[in-house]
Amino acid sequence: MIKTENLTKQYGQQTVLNIDSLDIPKGQSFGLVGNNGAGKTTFFSLLLDLIQPTTGHIINHEVQVNTSEAWKPFTSSFIDETFLIGYLTPEEYFYFIGDLREANKADVDSLLANFEDFFHGEILGQKKYLRDLSKGNQKKAGIVASFIGNPEVVILDEPFANLDPTTQIRLKSIIKELASDKDVTVLVSSHDLIHVTEVCERIVVLNKGEIVKDIKTSTETLKELETFFAG
């Protein structure tokens, strides 16, 4: 589904990402972990054509992402709150995303009804702009918006950050349910090793822009990751 070949990203003389080869099959729940500056967000930014590679490319469903926009109809993401439209209410934002992804108002309302527990009465019907919501509630709105339009690829960058424990638990269930659909490829980056091992069947560790571990998740994975990061 997603193929990375000879991918590098440099800023001046500094190489921040260097991945010779990485294949992510369709339907896989894929986790990306690493310390700050490891290259996680850089990889997702390249995958979403937000920045240009120095060398190499990424293929998403047979589409080279930096030379064509044909991947956009089946790919969605939430990177951070800056990608929201702050002067819209959550409802306006959801319907706007629905228009972009060919989902009508009834389709969007039907999807939103599945996330009442996740929203916890703090998102819909509040008559607030997105910019006036807490960071956690902004994140909840952005995550759910990424599910609109039945995407085949969902990319979530640090989805557990700024969320309270109850919401983190609910989000893990949401991601697991999404990943259970083998037509959907889910990519999650996180600093939280416990959460990522619970929701991802495969975990890749980046260190200084390079892949240093590629693990099929098992009962021993968390311990292996903790040992690695403990140095």
Buried b (16+ CB within 10 A) or exposed e, 205-218: bbbebebeeebebe
Sketch out the chain's domains with CATH numbers. Answer: 2-85+149-230 (3.40.50.300)
Contact (CB, 8 A) for 65 and 224? no
How many Cβ atoms from other residues are within 10 Å of residue 156's Cβ?
24
Q: What is the pLDDT of residues 157-216, one digit of tens each?
A: 999 998 999 999 999 999 999 989 889 999 999 999 999 999 999 999 999 999 999 999
For residue 1, name the pLDDT band (cuts at 50, 70, 90). Answer: confident
Q: Is the whole model's pTM more than 0.75, yes or no?
A: yes
Whether residue 107 has pLDDT greater than 80: yes
